[in-house]
Amino acid sequence: MELIIGDFRVRTLDDLNLVVEEHRDVLEKDKKTMMNTGAKRKDWCFVGYFGKLNHALNRIIEARINRSDTNTLVDLQKLVQQAKNDLLEEINSMDNRIYTHSERVKLKKYVPEAFVLSK
């Protein structure tokens, strides 16, 4: 399974683990000296290992919250809801040849569980 949501990718590592990676700018290094050259390129960077999909989705939502400049709880709730909507949109747009209907339904069930804000 590989699920790409914005700048994040969730992929299956083995039967028990999921890996979350972020697509971001990294500095290139000179192969001889291992010093930064100053040039940047986009690459997938490790974020974490997770045993369950809802934990991986929580990590993506947390990263979006940390990047935002929300000041109020209302703004935070809107941000979380927007992140959940993005997750559902990505799941709905998955290619039918790669993911079966039952796999997409299984993924959708984890989204409401992800990052629940209590009142």
Q: Is residue 68 part of a domain?
A: yes
Q: Is residue 115 part of a domain?
A: no
Q: Is residue 117 part of a domain?
A: no
Tell me what pLDDT residue 119 has: 45
> Which residue reads 């703004």 in tokens?
75
d(CA 5, CA 111): 12
* Domains: count for the chain: 1
- How would you write the pLDDT of the chain (119 residues) with one tens digit per residue? 788 888 888 888 888 889 999 998 887 777 667 677 777 888 898 999 998 888 888 888 888 888 888 888 888 888 888 888 887 787 777 665 556 667 667 666 666 555 555 44
Q: Is residue 45 part of a domain?
A: yes
Domain range enclosing 61: 2-110
Q: Is residue 118 part of a domain?
A: no
SS3 of residue 111 by DSSP:
coil
